[in-house]
Structure 1
Amino acid sequence: MDVSKLPNYHPVPWDTRFEAIALPDMFARTATATPDAPLLHFLGRTYPYSALHEQARRFALGLIARGIAPGDRVGLFLPNVPSYVAAYYGAMLAGAVVVNFSPLYSVDELSTQVADSGTRLLVTVDVPELYGTAEKVLQASQLETLVVSSLSGMLPKLKGLALKLFARSKIAKVAYGDGVVAWDDLLSQGAASKAALPPLDPQGLALLQYTGGTTGTPKGAMLTHANLSINAQQTAGLNPFGDPAGEVFMGALPFFHVFANTALLNHAVVTGASIAMVPRFDTKQVLQTIEKYGATGFPGVPTMFQALLDHPDLAKTDLSTLKVCISGGAPLPGPLREKFEAATGVRLVEGYGLTESSGVVSANPYEGKRKPGTIGQVVMGTEVLLLDKENPEVIAPAGEPGELALHGPQIMQGYWNRPDAAKDVFVEHFGKRWLRTGDVATVDEEGFLAIVDRIKDMIAVGGFKVFPSQVEDVLLEHEAVKEALVIGVPDEYLGECPKAYVTLNAGEGATGDALREWLNARIGKHERVCDVVIREDLPKTMIGKLDRKALRAEVLD
């Protein structure tokens, strides 16, 4: 589809061309232009651009002093803390490739990805759970060095002192020595170094971002400096509100996730904005942070916005500075959007992205025309195709849903050490390489995309294809239903039958049988569910989105 000829409701023209720049150079440019401007607000302490840039420079030189060479992999096993920012840009400044690891990983999960990526050095923090896991991986893997940053050292002085004096159990007893280095010692080593920093190629590999593994073993998406810096500029191009340097982003998304990497960190740095950051999502703390720092934008996942709605402090929190909230990572239920906007007066728009696309592909406009139920229009410079659901070598018939395929400057180069997987995910059309997303989509006459479902999630019912998300959307219209997931379960006659799992809103007493009858009267015959199961909770991924894969494994195993 020629997106350039369709109406564009984003503030920047679709054919805008962005600069391919290495991420550390992007960081240096902003730090030089506005050295005293705040980059991070963290639990009462503010870090200006210049301070974090200097930490990144010292970290880079410290890595070089320890033998890290261009192309080596440096892992980050960190929550949202200031050392993440310095280590992220600093590792790239040394020419290394960053590998993001979730702080919720088990020893086995971390070991597997350390081995797959060939990570030589890992950065963590002296929180017992993280340090304990990282130390075990150091002892039992090819990992050579563990760098440990101090949580108390990143806090305001009085908070840091209180943590040391009254909460010793929250600080790990780190066994410094061979292979285990203190963050401050590495920075000191870097400060004393006379080494030269290597030249950086914008087209060079910057980040290995592991997928969530929805199609099997997690794979490392290879993202270049250009992929990431351009996607940050594409995201900044969605902002219609004037001077972007005045924006304050609510930083509740975990930085290790590609959505936060682009929509929060790199987005802020390319524009000179600031991030009011929390170590992890805590509803009360998020509300307090929005009010204290005057957050203007909040990228999050639907479960975060639901949690804000459910919290008793929402009504008494001043949200007047918030201009827009952007939901990604999972489909945004219509009832949630309506309730959130009614309760807060803040516009909540849905966007879309993938690990393989550096994080951001499309969004509904922040102002003006939008289309609820869609993922909006693609960001600048991004092209779309709809492929036949059964054969990606063929374009989908006009007007019919098809597998969404993407071409643009933010699309990954392939999977780390997995050329076989790359062959399955890329397809050639019109002389260009297109990324197959695995999502079934429709596109209207104005270029607004709607995700119908994932190809692998479709349920085969007696020869018909059922899209579970469509059944879930109907379920969510019931006033009692808070969350819903539908999966296919084996059926001797039909092959598979849709089965729904739901949680209820507080105070609701609906039964599974009643919900099944209500639902089946409102959907197609082939879509009718065999059962509705009411649960206290539904499985969620590490960033808080509903996890269909985990539910399917739990139920069918």
Structure 2
Amino acid sequence: MTSVAPPHPAWISAYQHPGQWELDLPPLTLPDMFVAMAKERGDAPMLDFLGRKYSYSETLSGVRRVAKGLQDMGLKRGDRVGLFLPNVPHYVAAYYGAMLAGATVVNFSPLYTVDELRHQVEDSGTRFLFTLSARALLPNALAVLERSSLEALIVGSVAGALPRAKSVLYRLFKRGEVSERPDDPRISAFSKLIANDGRFAAADPSADDVALIQYTGGTTGVPKGAMLTHQNLSANARQVNAIDPRIDEVDRIMGVLPFFHVFANTCVLNRTVANGGEIVMLPRFDAAQCLAAITRTQPRSMPGVPTMYQALLDHPALAKTDFSSLRVCISGGAPMPAELQRKFEAATGARLVEGYGLTESSGVVSTNPYEGLNKPGTIGQPLPATNVRLVDKEHPGQPAPEGEPGEMVVSGPQVMKGYWQRPDADGETFITIDGERYLRTGDVGEIDVDGYISVVDRLKDMIAVGGFKVFPSQVEDILYTNTAVREALVIGVPDAYLGERPRAYVTLEPDADIAAGQLMAWLNPQLGKHERVESVVIRDTLPKTMIGKLDRKALRAEIGDAGTAA
């Protein structure tokens, strides 16, 4: 049984997720979880990649051959293996195969620049890197091979993973998107790596071993590698399955979120394997492709981010899409506007619930229930075996004052071991309460009598206006009530007298007819004096992260210290 102390009794009786908050989560490694399910499910489909099906047995064979191929290249237990890949079958084989061989996987975003990739390869000590022969990936990987201690590249082909007809078309018409693999002894073809009998040497990793290093910049801009153990990741996968009241039904999930991000890694990949379901994989999110795949494959769930759901609503093919199988969509990464939630549910008939998580928590901390009471504007109740408390924003060793927001701290089996080679950061990240270790989230929240959590803002996003604290999200919430506003970000800009003042950046709905001055005149009377924005800037686009979340940090960097850019 988990050692996390039970949540506050005032709301445990109102717990809406299926079953009990207490959840038994025995130690389990990801390879053991995968192999057991693959043997049980056999010829049942595990992956659908643009129409090509891969069974559990076929995927297990590939995983074993990756493990054997890596060991033949000299891989030792505890070595780091990098994945510089989009959502392709190679990712699944390399992810579980590296772990089966005893390695620690390191996720790298395909959107990284050469410098970003090189820095994280060096920081993690990655020896082997998997990538594709795509022009968007291979040149950067080759540059890092030359400029870092990386020992070898393993390069796969997208065409080889496609159905035969599509593979021929890809080779004929998309040659411009492919880079030639150089003749270099440090570079191997994925097909050559797996050309073996799959008889690898058992590595027997422990549930407490680090399975994944997942980099996160947080709000500091300095990437840190969160060390996620096998138990962290397998526990979170089981926790996510535990909140599904219909988990025994045919489990088919849309995999359009990138596996290299912790949200999809847990909510799409690991939790589906834990349940023996099928993943409909798309290499990246494309609204037209996603809608077509929904009609073709009839999934029952689809995790995503708000901008993704908005893109689906905006696409002309929405009306022709068959959503009859879609039961629940889980939104994370950014606050879900209430109007977007309402429109998506009306258009699809699916339930759209908002949740919350962090890289350091393996992906998921809380969510609104799939069935039962859904409170829009909240991130729902904690997952089973997960405790969330509020501590004083200025003095985290003390509880938040009664009735006031506080910094959210999290305890549970999914909370990371610590930061890779950064013991100095651990002291700032963890606190102990009643003998339990809690992760400081940096997010300010409130918890109502039913245990539903509302995120007020991030501590480091707060704007200091003449000694007063302004939460940007509270100003953004009001902006979103204006039907002309599509997206909104509020940041602080320098002010000679007050230190900082809020400025709002927005994009508008296509049919909106409002000027920046009019929007500011509408907004400011609804705000306290210290919250009032010094200007509203209307833009065509706002910066977003790799998974489509509005990126406040990138906007600050774009605007610069002077705060004069628009």
Query: Which interval holds the TM-score relative to the shorter structure?
Result: over 0.9
Matching of residue 119 in structure 1 with residue 126 in structure 2: yes
* CA–CA distance in structure 2, aligned partners of residues 195 and 451 of structure 1: 47
Matching of residue 42 in structure 1 with residue 46 in structure 2: no
Matching of residue 237 in structure 1 with residue 242 in structure 2: yes
Q: Match of 2:95, SS?
A: helix
Match of 2:422 in 1: 418
* CA–CA distance in structure 1, aligned partners of residues 173 and 307 of structure 2: 33
* CA–CA distance in structure 1, aligned partners of residues 373 and 105 of structure 2: 38
Letter in 1 for 2:269: L
Deviations 1:124-168 (A, max 9, x none): 011012011101111111000100011110000111122222322
Q: Match of 2:136, SS?
A: helix
Match of 1:539 in 2: 543
The match for 2:377 among 349, 373, 378 is 373
Structure 1 position 312, deviation (Å): 1.3
CA contact (8 A) 2:241 2:247 kept: no
* CA–CA distance in structure 1, aligned partners of residues 331 and 26 of structure 2: 27
Q: Match of 1:222, SS?
A: strand
Match of 1:286 in 2: 290
Letter in 1 for 2:261: H
Matching of residue 444 in structure 1 with residue 448 in structure 2: yes
The match for 1:275 among 275, 279, 297 is 279
The match for 1:181 among 169, 178, 188 is 188
Letter in 2 for 1:240: P
Letter in 2 for 1:463: G
Matching of residue 150 in structure 1 with residue 160 in structure 2: no
* CA–CA distance in structure 1, aligned partners of residues 532 and 173 of structure 2: 57
Matching of residue 64 in structure 1 with residue 94 in structure 2: no
* CA–CA distance in structure 2, aligned partners of residues 17 and 482 of structure 1: 43
Letter in 2 for 1:393: G
The match for 2:62 among 39, 47, 55 is 55
Q: Match of 2:493, SS?
A: strand
Distance change (3 Å), C-alpha of 1:33 and 1:396: same
Q: Match of 1:209, SS?
A: strand
CA contact (8 A) 2:355 2:379 kept: yes
Match of 2:470 in 1: 466
Gaps of 5+ in 1: none
CA contact (8 A) 2:83 2:129 kept: yes
Match of 1:162 in 2: 169
The match for 2:219 among 196, 211, 214 is 214
Structure 1 position 523, deviation (Å): 2.0
CA contact (8 A) 2:486 2:509 kept: yes
Gaps of 5+ in 2: 562-566
Number of residue-to-residue matches in the alignment = 554
Structure 1 position 502, deviation (Å): 0.2
Deviations 1:45-81 (A, max 9, x none): 0111111111011100111111100000000000000
Match of 2:36 in 1: 29
CA contact (8 A) 2:226 2:418 kept: yes
Deviations 1:479-504 (A, max 9, x none): 10000000011112221111000000
* CA–CA distance in structure 2, aligned partners of residues 481 and 233 of structure 1: 39
The match for 1:427 among 427, 431, 452 is 431
CA contact (8 A) 1:61 1:197 kept: no
Comparing 96-105 with 29-38, greater Cα deviation is found at 29-38
* CA–CA distance in structure 2, aligned partners of residues 212 and 51 of structure 1: 37
* CA–CA distance in structure 1, aligned partners of residues 79 and 126 of structure 2: 7
* CA–CA distance in structure 2, aligned partners of residues 372 and 449 of structure 1: 11
Q: Match of 2:549, SS?
A: coil
* CA–CA distance in structure 2, aligned partners of residues 386 and 546 of structure 1: 25
The match for 1:297 among 274, 295, 301 is 301
Comparing 296-305 with 486-495, greater Cα deviation is found at 486-495
Percent identity of paired positions between Structure 1 and Structure 2: 58
* CA–CA distance in structure 2, aligned partners of residues 354 and 346 of structure 1: 25
Match of 2:398 in 1: 394
Match of 1:228 in 2: 233
Q: Match of 1:59, SS?
A: helix
Comparing 35-44 with 94-103, greater Cα deviation is found at 35-44
Deviations 1:387-429 (A, max 9, x none): 1001111111122100000110000010000011111111112
Q: Match of 2:42, SS?
A: coil
CA contact (8 A) 2:155 2:190 kept: yes
* CA–CA distance in structure 2, aligned partners of residues 167 and 480 of structure 1: 40
Moved over 3 A (4+): none
Match of 2:116 in 1: 109
CA contact (8 A) 2:227 2:417 kept: yes
Q: Match of 1:133, SS?
A: helix
CA contact (8 A) 1:149 1:182 kept: yes
* CA–CA distance in structure 2, aligned partners of residues 176 and 185 of structure 1: 14
CA contact (8 A) 1:4 1:15 kept: no
* CA–CA distance in structure 2, aligned partners of residues 56 and 186 of structure 1: 11
The match for 1:328 among 329, 332, 349 is 332
Matching of residue 134 in structure 1 with residue 141 in structure 2: yes
Distance change (3 Å), C-alpha of 1:156 and 1:194: closer
CA contact (8 A) 1:30 1:269 kept: yes
Structure 1 position 170, deviation (Å): 2.0
Letter in 2 for 1:211: T
After superposition, residues 256-267 of structure 1 pair within 5 angstroms as: 256-267=260-271
- RMSD across aligned positions (CA): 1.2
Deviations 1:341-388 (A, max 9, x none): 222222111000000000000000011111111000000101122110
CA contact (8 A) 2:65 2:199 kept: no
* CA–CA distance in structure 1, aligned partners of residues 183 and 154 of structure 2: 9
Match of 1:364 in 2: 368
* CA–CA distance in structure 1, aligned partners of residues 69 and 91 of structure 2: 15
Structure 1 position 2, deviation (Å): 4.8
Match of 1:494 in 2: 498
Comparing 224-233 with 517-526, greater Cα deviation is found at 517-526
Structure 1 position 195, deviation (Å): 4.5
Match of 2:83 in 1: 76
Deviations 1:440-466 (A, max 9, x none): 000011110000000000011121111
Match of 2:564 in 1: none
Q: Match of 2:371, SS?
A: coil
Deviations 1:12-37 (A, max 9, x none): 31001123211011001111011111
Comparing 202-211 with 329-338, greater Cα deviation is found at 329-338
Letter in 2 for 1:300: G
* CA–CA distance in structure 2, aligned partners of residues 150 and 139 of structure 1: 22
